[in-house]
Amino acid sequence: MGPEQYIRLSQLNDQIQDTINSRFRGQTYWVVADITNHSFKADKKIHYFELVEKSANSSAITAKILGKSWGAGALKILDFEITTGQRFTNNLHVLVQVSVDFHPLYGLSVNLLDIDSNFMLGILEQQRNATLARLVRDNDFIHKEGELYSTLNSRLKLPAVIQRVAVISSSSSAGNEDFRHTMQHNDFGYVFQIDDYYTVVQGDNNAKLFLNKLIEVYNTDIPYDAIVITRGGGSQSDFLIFDNYNIGRAVAKFPIPVITGIGHQKNVSITDLMAHTHTKTPTKAAEFIIAHNRSFEQHILSLQRTDSHEIAAAFPRVLQRAQRA
């Protein structure tokens, strides 16, 4: 084979680039795929990732291509994160608009130009509804009543006075600090015993750690009046742990009333629906407990006033009978 039969690699790549550019120039495509191997270069505002397609019957990958996004595409990703509350990260099933690109040095890839937020919101809602349906179908202690859910936990009766509580939260949670501050500085001088059980409270992959913390509280045999689950704000992906099937089931079956103060302003999580009482934030959870205790105190004070009036009203009659005797 003579030297004239060789070409340089760069020449071959140039031919490939010319062919691909000729075929795909000006063309864009909406593609459904999963995100993997994602990284974000904050200084350059560039996303790098892979788009993959998996078999419908297994987790086997049937197609894969490198992807990147910068400039206007990166701004679309930012809009997507704001709209959905979901970070653009690994294991997302997305609908994205792409163009095809070939670089002589970096090879074949696609440029992400846009991402459909409504598609993602639909996926998350489908997953949530499927989990709720499974909870009702597979557990006889969970019933759907209209738009609400009746669980073993929600049917428990709160103690007349809540004094000792176990709090499951992150050790670095500002929400937990808000809860403690509100409880300890209440206007009525109520004193509470608050025991902290720290764990990870974000990311569905940490559900087992959270579940183990619930089991730990149960195994203490401490007669808590209530269990409080707190978390501050965050993106929707941070709250996926509270839509986990196993956590929802454990809360629904827990023998001590569970009060949630999960700082998710947009939606009510599955854990919220399975609990005895759900509130919007850690501070609201504390305010609920204080108000509950205040209601009992006011009832006792009312009874005292009623008894005093009855005694005062009856005293003249008693005195008259004594005089006649």
The domain limits of the chain are: 3-115, 128-298
140 in Cβ contact with 151 (< 8 Å):
no
Nearest CA to 168 among 236, 248, 253, 262? 262
pLDDT exceeds cutoff 70 at 311: no
The chain-wide mean pLDDT, for the chain, equals 88
pTM of the model: 0.72
Helix, coil or strand: residue 63: strand
pLDDT band at 314 (very low <50, low <70, confident <90, very high): very low
Helix, coil or strand: residue 23: helix
Q: Please tell us whether the domain made up of 128-298 is placed in CATH 1.10.10.350.
A: no
Mean pLDDT of 14-34: 94
In order of 106, 259, 271, 273, 315, the CA distances from 131 in angstroms are: 42, 21, 11, 12, 64
Phi-psi region of 288 (alpha: psi -120 to 50; beta: other; left: phi over 0): alpha
Question: Which CATH code is given to the segment(s) 3-115?
Answer: 2.40.50.140
Strands 93-103 vs 29-41: parallel, antiparallel or unpaired: antiparallel
Contacts of 243 (CB under 8 A, 6+ apart): 127, 128, 131, 204, 269, 270, 271
At residue 310, the pLDDT reads: 56
Angle among Cα 22, 28, 31 to the nearest 5 degrees reads: 125
End-to-end CA distance of the chain: 139
CA 325 to CA 31: how far, in whole Å?
Answer: 100
Helix, coil or strand: residue 157: coil
pLDDT exceeds cutoff 50 at 217: yes
Contacts of 138 (CB under 8 A, 6+ apart): none
- DSSP-derived secondary structure for 116-144: -HHHHHHHHHHHHHHHHHHHHHH-TTEEE
CA 200 to CA 211: how far, in whole Å?
Answer: 10
At residue 318, the pLDDT reads: 36
Tell me: the pLDDT tens digits for 35-65? Answer: 999 999 999 999 999 999 988 777 788 999 9
Q: Which helix (H) or strand (E) holds 148?
A: strand 148-151
At residue 285, the pLDDT reads: 96
Nearest CA to 278 among 293, 264, 290, 291? 264
| Alpha-helical runs (H) found in 139-281 | 174-184, 207-219, 245-253, 270-274
Total number of residues shown for the chain: 325
At residue 221, the pLDDT reads: 95
Mean pLDDT of 166-185: 92
Strands 164-169 vs 148-151: parallel, antiparallel or unpaired: unpaired
Return phi, psi of residue 31, to 5°.
Answer: -130, 135
